Chains A and B, each alone.
Chain A
Amino acid sequence: MSARAVAGLQTWIREWVRFWFEMPDTRALELVRVGLGLTLLVSYASLAGHVEAFYTEDGWLPLALTPALQEERTTLSMLFVFRSAAAAWALWGLTVLAAAAYALGWRTNVAKLVLLVGHYSFTRRAPAIAYGVDDLCSNLLFIQCFVPMGHALALDARRRAPLMLAPWRQTLRSMGLRLTQVQMAIIMAFAGLEKLRGEDWWDGLGVWFAMTDWEFNFVPLEPFAAHPYLLNLLGYGAVLFELAYPALIWHRRVRGLLLLLAIGLHVGVAVVMGLWLFSAAMLASHLAFAPPSWFRWLHVRAEGAPAPHPVNGSGSASNSSPSKVATQGQRAPGSTDSPRASAR
């Protein structure tokens, strides 16, 4: 291999490592966590009156009559083992509490495991009632279970001050945030590409026909029917947005605009089609791209920034070496906001 090829390969590998594992600011992951926790909290709390109908032998899906649910070896659920109504209620209660704790960032890394077990158990026990919100939450939760969480926007972050992260934690958080971002780009890409295959979307009436499906018909149709250009605009706009998102969201200059459009799209879906829980999960995923300015607005400290000194309110500087700083959780003099820079 020529020297130029080797140099090119090394550059490529360095860029790969930087992209996936060396993001300097991973606070957006915590915004996703809060959104995910709240979505799951509302989702499971709203099932309070339906636990026995969906998850017990007296319900719609008794395991005795639906053996296919347990046929796949990879389909795991606590409710396959513990089948009583009491067990379903106990797991439901634990899951609701874990979702609340996860949203608040209290015992975050324990709460997420309990939440994962609960969510997987319920969605595997009753796949017939699961829809987009459950799939998306499962994906986000799966990623976050491999990532140290609760470092900002969390009750845990108060106990953990200051905010400096050990290098391995920051590497895992970087990977988790990138996976969430790339996953969102893939989801939007396929949502747009699949629509291109449809005649209704091509004719500019995709939104109209989605709204006229009785299941999703939450608003009067006449005002929309009277404005066919508006329907065309909404239909083509949705497809163009979904196709553009995966390509453009990586560019800082348009990221804020795309996020605002995403908020508009999902709020619209929530109001017009009643899919507010699904929209909440999508919005939580979009937050993976939240720009740093949003955190300034939320008064969330930069990772690596010193905690306010308990007496004089200022951050303390240290003469320790950078690697020691990372483990001690203090900031080296002259370092940047990048924990990686500090760690080195």
Chain B
Amino acid sequence: MPDDRCSDFPHPRWVYGALSGAVVLYVGGLLLAAGPPADVVVDAYEFAYPALELGNVNNDWGFFSPDPGPGDLPRYEVVDGDGRTHPFGWMEDLDRWDPAFFRYTTLFVNVMDDPEVYGDGAAAFLCREHADLEPRKIVFTVAHQRDRSPADVLAGRGILENMPVDKLYFRHCPQERE
């Protein structure tokens, strides 16, 4: 049998070929997932999407970019059987020093941004949590932080002052639907 080894490496050529293919696919996936939204990148991304998800390389790594602030604070209101509204701070009510703090903030932002996927589940949970209020529906709202420059802060304007609040969407409590 002919010796298939590269002259100064310990493995046959096909081994390096196969491993090189894996390397190119992985690095290509990383670049594709983080790449700019050019047509060629977007089309290739859509084609490769299942593989990117499976290999877990589907990330854009844009930490705090392109612009980091100001933030949005998800909130909600419980509407009870008498039509009274009970507002809750939600994100602002979290314990900042709880190790799961960022799990909850991430969850709340997702509930705010993606009602089709997360709205029903979050509403059902909140309806159970506030059963003592005999809730009829949950209204999801968001408070928008204002831009605060260093000069604003030195002038005593806090980052949570005068936040405009928008209503996003609502979900009826499950028993209400029935």
Genuine A/B complex: yes
Q: Is the CB of A59 within 8 A of B53?
A: no
State the CA gap A65–B23 with chains docked (Å): 39
Q: Identify which of B11, B96, B107, B148 contacts A274 (C-beta below 8 A).
A: B96
A-B contact pairs, 8 of them (CB 8 A): A20-B23, A66-B120, A128-B114, A175-B19, A198-B67, A198-B68, A206-B64, A277-B102
Q: Is the CB of A191 within 8 A of B67?
A: no
Q: Is the CB of B71 within 8 A of A74?
A: no
Chain A residues with CB below 8 A from B66, complex form: 194-195, 197-201
State the CA gap A47–B106 with chains docked (Å): 14
Closest to B103 in A: A129
Which of the 9-residue segments A33-41, A86-94, A208-216, A289-297 touches chain B? A208-216
User: Given A65-B121, A135-B56, A194-B66, does the pair A182, B27 have CB atoms closer than 8 Å?
Assistant: yes
Which of the 9-residue segments A96-104, A106-114, A225-233, A256-264 touches chain B? A225-233
Closest beta carbon of chain A to B138's beta carbon, Å = 12
Q: Contacts A74-B50, A142-B55 given; 16 further ones with Cβ under 8 A? A: A60-B118, A65-B121, A66-B118, A66-B120, A68-B116, A129-B110, A131-B102, A142-B57, A190-B34, A199-B66, A200-B66, A201-B68, A210-B68, A213-B71, A225-B150, A340-B10
A217 at interface by CB-CB < 8 Å: yes
User: Given A129-B107, A135-B56, does the pair A46, B100 have CB atoms closer than 8 Å?
Assistant: yes
State the CA gap A213–B9 with chains docked (Å): 53
User: Given A66-B117, A74-B50, A128-B110, does the pair A190, B60 have CB atoms closer than 8 Å?
Assistant: yes
Q: Count the A residues whose beta carbon is within 8 Å of the partner chain — how many?
A: 82
Q: Is the CB of A183 within 8 A of B63?
A: no
Q: Is the CB of B102 within 8 A of A275?
A: yes
Chain A residues with CB below 8 A from B96, complex form: 218, 274
Q: Is the CB of A195 within 8 A of B64?
A: yes
Q: Is the CB of A206 within 8 A of B53?
A: no
Closest to B118 in A: A128
Q: Identify which of A168, A199, A213 contacts B70 (C-beta below 8 A).
A: A213
User: Given A60-B122, A138-B56, does the pair A215, B65 have CB atoms closer than 8 Å?
Assistant: no
Q: Is the CB of A186 within 8 A of B53?
A: no
User: Given A74-B50, A225-B153, does the pair A46, B99 have CB atoms closer than 8 Å?
Assistant: yes
Chain B residues with CB below 8 A from A128, complex form: 106-107, 110-111, 114, 117-118
Chain B residues with CB below 8 A from A62, complex form: 121, 124-125
B170 at interface by CB-CB < 8 Å: no
A336 at interface by CB-CB < 8 Å: no
State the CA gap A163–B85 with chains docked (Å): 68
A130 at interface by CB-CB < 8 Å: yes
State the CA gap A16–B21 with chains docked (Å): 12
A153-210 contacts to B, CB under 8 A, are 167-168, 171, 175, 178-179, 182-183, 186-187, 190-191, 194-195, 197-201, 205-206, 208-210
State the CA gap A209–B152 with chains docked (Å): 12
Closest to A43 in B: B99
B89-119 contacts to A, CB under 8 A, are 91-92, 96, 99-107, 110-111, 114, 116-118
A250 at interface by CB-CB < 8 Å: no
B38 at interface by CB-CB < 8 Å: no
Chain A residues with CB below 8 A from B124, complex form: 62, 65
A309 at interface by CB-CB < 8 Å: no
Closest to B120 in A: A65
B41 at interface by CB-CB < 8 Å: no
Closest to B68 in A: A210
A interface footprint on B2-31 (CB within 8 Å = 1, 0 otherwise):
000010111100011001101100110011
